[in-house]
Every structure is written in C-alpha cells, then in structure tokens.
Structure 1
Amino acid sequence: MCELYVKADPILYESRSRSLRIRGVVTTLRLENQFWQILQEIAEVDGMTTNQLITKLYDEIMELRGEVVNFASFLRVSCTRYLTQREARPVPLSVVRSSVG
C-alpha cells in the first residue's frame, strides 16, 4: 500500500513560493507543487486564474471568519476537499455507456 505514496514523483512534494497581491498587499505563499496544480485545476474549472481564485478564497474566508490563522493550510485543506468532492461526483450516464460499448 505505501508504494503508492513513496513512489510519488519528488517534484510533486517539492515546495514552491509564489508572490501575489491580496487586497493590495504583496504576499508570498509557499505550497507543494501538487497543491499548486490542484489550485490551477480549480481555477480553470471556475474560469479564473490561480491568483484570482486565491484572492477570492481569501476574501470569502475573511468575510466568513474575520481572520485566517494559516492561509497556506487553508488552501491545502481546500484542495483536499475539492478532490473529495470531485471523486464523489456521479459519472454522467453518457460516459458510462461509451465506456461499456
């Protein structure tokens, strides 16, 4: 079972920093490459850039909670929640039929 995890490409868990502007303040976020890829996917699905998505998430969490203790961790959790929801979505019947035939 652990082979699935330990054989992952090291580039996926390598950290990368990105600078972006949130509410007029330039900030740097450091996340693993895998999370940057997931954020990019979410942004594309929502028709945004990654920076636009991150800014929107920041604005929404601030509006809801009034503070963000660890924004990088919030983004990681958001990514895992996205993946969980993506996997839970039912497969459209047309896709099932095309794969059977």
Structure 2
Amino acid sequence: MIRKRSVTIRGHRTSISLEDEFWQALQTIAGARGVSLSALIAEIDENRRPDDNLSSSMRLCVLEWLRSGKGL
C-alpha cells in the first residue's frame, strides 16, 4: 500500500508517497546509520539531481543499500 507522509526538509514541509515496504526499509537504513528518518530524507534530497523526483531517489537509496550487501 502506498502511504503519503509529510516531512520537513530544511524547514520546508513536503509530502512524499511511498509504498509501506520502502518506508520500513528507509527506517531500517536510518537506524543502521544512527540518524533519524528525517535526516536520511534530507540527505537524499540534498544529493539528488535537480530533475530527479524525491520519491524515486528514496527508492534508489534503498536499492543502493541492498546492492551494497548491507541487507535490511
């Protein structure tokens, strides 16, 4: 199921729609890295290309994490 969540990134409120599994994976990644989910999202936002969609960039973050062999 796709869930829409509101987050604040550098003082700007935005909504992000992602499947539950991606939200759970991002929470796991944030925990493994010792950062909050908000901090992880802000980092993803900061590092994405200007034309890239934030939701897509978040999915790619999960994919890169899995490809690195770190697992979930």
Provide TM-score, normalisation by structure 1. 0.63
Q: Distance in 1 between matches of 2:26 and 2:2?
A: 14
The equivalent of 1:76 in structure 2 is 59
Larger helix proportion of the pair:
1
SS of alignment partner, residue 29 of structure 1 = strand
Write the mapping of 1:31-70 to structure 2, written as runs, cut at 5 A. Answer: 31-61=18-48, 65=49, 67-70=50-53
Which structure 2 residue ranges, 5 or more long, are not aligned? none
Which structure 1 residue ranges, 5 or more long, are not aligned? 1-13, 89-101
Larger radius of gyration: 1
**Greater relative CO (CA pairs within 8 A, separation 6+):** 2
Q: Distance in 2 between matches of 1:33 and 1:78?
A: 15
Q: Distance in 2 between matches of 1:26 and 1:55?
A: 11
Provide TM-score, normalisation by structure 2. 0.85
Q: 1:44 to 1:58 in 2, by over 3 A?
A: same
The equivalent of 1:93 in structure 2 is none
The equivalent of 1:19 in structure 2 is 6
Structure 1 ranges of 4+ moved more than 6 A: none
